[in-house]
Amino acid sequence: MILLDEDTKCLVQGITGNQGSFHTLEMLKYNTNIVAGVTPGKGGQSLESVTIFNSIEEAKENTDVNASIIFVPSPFGKDAAFESIKYLDLVIIITEHIPVHDSMEIVEYAKKHNTTVIGPNTPGIISPGVGKLGIMPTHIFKEGNVGVISRSGTLTYEVASQLTMNDIGQSTCVGIGGDPVIGTNYPNILQMFEDDNDTDAIVLIGEIGGNAEEMAAEYIKDNISKPVVSYIAGMTAPPGKRMGHAGAIIQGNSGTAQSKINALSDVGVKTAKMPSEIVKLIKDSL
């Protein structure tokens, strides 16, 4: 597994909000190691067994936290991310609609501090059997040896569900986020899975727009020895129309599903025409 393992000790930023409190309880039910919450002005309160602090600095002084998951509203997303990045190793930004220029600053700040940022606009990550830092429904995941990377939350769930129903478990599933600017990209996660002893094969789920999948194909060619299979959403999308995510828009000839499929095919990555075909491709590759 990658990113989220037995050594991950997490805090929840925005733990007292509706989303933060709901998902904290769901993460705790899945045995995720949540050691603190942070909401300015609410320090000293608690949610079940989780103590709430006024700041990350205060939480860090009182616990051995090393990761955070952010549920704060988008206008405060950058400040929350900066605070986490300064003190922690892993930051998951669930928040949607963070302005692109804020995301650019978050990514730059994370590079300076050598902090891994997943998102913004991500469903999070799950390592079945260990825990989840995110909003995904846990019953569709199963412990195993297939790593999943995706730009789409819904498609992550669909593919994981298909794998689980066919008795193929997952090591870790990572939603990298659907925005044009994100902290951690396909090559970063591909390399983590390549180096991970618990992962034997990788599923890459992409969608139209941008060139992330083409860059992933380039990276796979020279750096990844484990089998990779893929699914690209948006085969029928008309040019110039955004489909779902802010990053999913085709401009000119770049960013089409076919250009991504071709790039992946050129480096030996087979692409499923529909999510259910992933199962056969994975079975054939293992």
Kindly state whether residues 106 and 187 are assigned to the same domain: no
The number of angstroms, rounded, from the C-alpha of 236 to the middle of its chain's C-alpha atoms is: 25
Q: Are residues 181 and 152 in the same domain?
A: yes
Task: Categorize the per-residue pLDDT at 137 as very low, low, confident or very high, splitting at 50, 70 and 90.
Answer: very high
169 within a domain of the structure (yes/no): yes
- Domain identity same for 184 and 258: yes
Residues 88 and 192 in one domain: no
DSSP summary character for residue 50: E
Q: 112 and 150 in one domain?
A: no
Domain termination site, one of 90, 118, 146: 118
Q: Which element (helix H / strand E) includes 270? A: strand 270-272
Q: What is the CATH number of the domain that holds 192?
A: 3.40.50.261
Question: Residue 286: which pLDDT band, with cuts at 50, 70 and 90?
Answer: confident
The one catalytic residue in 23, 113, 139, 245 is 245
Average confidence (pLDDT) over 27-35? 97
Given a cut of 80, whether residue 225 has pLDDT beyond it is yes
Domain membership flag for residue 40? yes
One domain for residues 175 and 232: yes
Cα 179–chain centre separation? 12
Number of domains in the chain: 2
Interval 245-273 mean pLDDT: 78
Helices and strands counted in the chain (H then E): 9, 14
Q: Is residue 128 part of a domain?
A: no
Does residue 201 contact residue 282 with C-beta atoms inside 8 Å? yes
Last residue of a domain, one of 64, 87, 118: 118
Mean pLDDT over residues 157-169, rounded?
A: 95
Q: Are residues 111 and 157 in the same domain?
A: no
Q: Report yes or no on 2 lying in a domain.
A: no
Range of the domain at 179: 136-285
Q: Specify whether 245 is catalytic.
A: yes
Model confidence, pTM? 0.92
What percentage of the chain reaches a pLDDT higher than 70? 93
* Whether 183 and 150 share a structural domain: yes
**Cβ atoms 71, 50 nearer than 8 A:** no
Give which of 173, 175, 178 is closest to 148, Cα–Cα.
Answer: 173
